[in-house]
Amino acid sequence: MPDKAENERAVRIPREIWGSGRDPWHGHLEGAQIDAGITVLFYANNTPGKGPKWHVHPYDELFVIRKGRALFTIGDRKIEANEGDVLLGPRDVPHKFHNLGPGRLETMDVHHSPRWIQTDLPDPELDAETDG
C-alpha cells in the first residue's frame, strides 16, 4: 500500500492545461509540472504527408499510434505503423514521421524525460533532393 504522501500526488490535469488549439488530441504535458519522470505529447493531423520534421532527443521516446497510419524514419530505418502499434525511438537517434492517410493520424508520444528536450536537424532526405 502506498504511503499517504505518495497517494497525495494523484492529480487530474484538465485538457485546458495540456491541450493546444481546437483539436482535442493536440498538446503536451511535461512531467516536471506534476513531479513525473515522463513528458507526454498528443499529436494529430488530417493531412497525408504532414508530420514532425527530422529531430532528436537525448532520451528514449515511445510512439503509440492511436488512429491512422504513419511512416516513421528512425535513424536509417523506415517503419510503417498502424493503429495500435507502438514504436521505440532510441535516445540520440534522429527521427521523424508523417501521416500516410487516408484520413486522420493520432499519436501519443511518451518522452522518457520530465522535460521536452528537442533538437531540430536538417533532413538528409530533403538535402539529397536539392543536391540531385
Residues 107-119 pLDDT 10s: 999 999 999 999 9
For residues 95, 23, 115, 49, the Cα torsion angle rounded to the nearest 10 degrees is: 10
Three cell numbers, residue 66: 492511436
Place of cell 516536471: 32
Three cell numbers, residue 2: 502506498
Label residue 90 by pLDDT band (50, 70, 90). Answer: very high
Residue 42 confidence (pLDDT)? 96
- Write down the CATH number for the domain with range 26-131: 2.60.120.10
Residues 40-79 pLDDT 10s: 999 999 999 999 999 999 999 999 999 999 999 999 999 9
This prediction has a pTM of 0.88
Domain ranges of the chain: 26-131
